[in-house]
Structure 1
Amino acid sequence: MESESGSWFDAETATFGDRVAGAREALGWSQKQLAERLGVKVKTVKHWEGDASEPRANKLQMLAGMLGVSMRWLLSGEGPGVDAPLPEGVVPATAPAELAGLLAEIRAVRGEMSLQAQRLERLETRLEAALGATA
């Protein structure tokens, strides 16, 4: 069921919510598990997946990192994302669940590190401005 432009999850075929749900399901996570990892309510994840709302920029970045996809893919369907879902009943030939869990945790840490790096840059800019004002 790929669209003519190529990807199951592209902008013509899928919405932001579809891509969030697809990436979450590709990891084997429930909405509750994703919500707990992001520090949001399950209701919030349901709203995102139902296209009733979208996350703020900081949560979007964490979400992309945890799901192992690019923010661009989540928003537009372009860039690194997940493959089309397998037909029902087909079991993917992937790494064991433990390895998938480790990979998911690494992705989550990567997202958190990116947020912290941005925060550090903002603090450095403020410090430089404060030091420049006192000189």
Structure 2
Amino acid sequence: MAETSETTWFADDVATFGDRLEAAREAANLTQDELAQRLGVRDTTIAAWEAEEWEPRGNRLQMLAGMLNVSLMWLMTGAGAGLGGPQDEDALPLGARLALAEIAELRGQMQDLTEKLRRAEDKLETEMRGAAA
């Protein structure tokens, strides 16, 4: 049985926190500036969150979820009460479904590479500390 867009469209393997934040903000008919004013931050902060340049602190996450009428879990992971996708993924043209699958695969590869990079950085840092001692 195929999953619906409500369970997959904004999931972690398809969308990022920034994607979900932007979609929820737009669904609430708010500009970045309007959301920033309500939250008490600069509009550049909202833009940086949506672009995955910065991450909000926990208290801001809770406030965002409340202001955007989505669950905190959905905002962070895509699971739980939030937004559905624009339409049922099975109704999308084959090319769009293939593109979404490719994006999900590439995102997984990026996550694997990010973890490998983190481990290599940890090794380098350990070696540098050992050399400095």
Give the match for residue 31 of structure 2: 30
Structure number with the higher helix fraction is 2
Structure 2: distance between partners of 1:28 and 1:5: 20
Deviation of the 1:6 alpha carbon: 3.4
| Structure 1 unmatched runs, 5+ | 87-135
| Structure 2 unmatched runs, 5+ | 88-133
Q: Which amino acid aligns with 1:42?
A: D
Give the match for residue 67 of structure 2: 66
Structure 2: distance between partners of 1:74 and 1:15: 9
- CA deviation vs aligned residue, 1:89-117 (integer Å, no higher than 9, x gap): xxxxxxxxxxxxxxxxxxxxxxxxxxxxx
TM-score normalised to structure 1 length: 0.58
Contact 2:10 2:85 in 1 (8 A): yes
Q: Which stretches of structure 1, 4 residues or more, deviate above 3 A after TM superposition?
A: 2-6
Aligned-residue sequence identity (percent) comes to 51
Q: Summarize the Cα distance change of 1:5–1:37 in structure 2 as closer, same or farther, 3 Å threshold.
A: closer
Give the 3-state SS of the residue equivalent to 2:8 in structure 1. coil
Q: Which amino acid aligns with 2:20?
A: R
Give the 3-state SS of the residue equivalent to 1:6 in structure 2. helix
Q: Which amino acid aligns with 1:35?
A: A
Do structure 1's residue 57 and structure 2's residue 58 form an aligned pair?
yes
Deviation of the 1:8 alpha carbon: 1.1
Structure 2: distance between partners of 1:28 and 1:85: 16
Count of aligned residue pairs for this structure pair: 85
Deviation of the 1:3 alpha carbon: 8.1
Contact 1:35 1:42 in 2 (8 A): yes
CA RMSD of aligned residues (A): 2.1
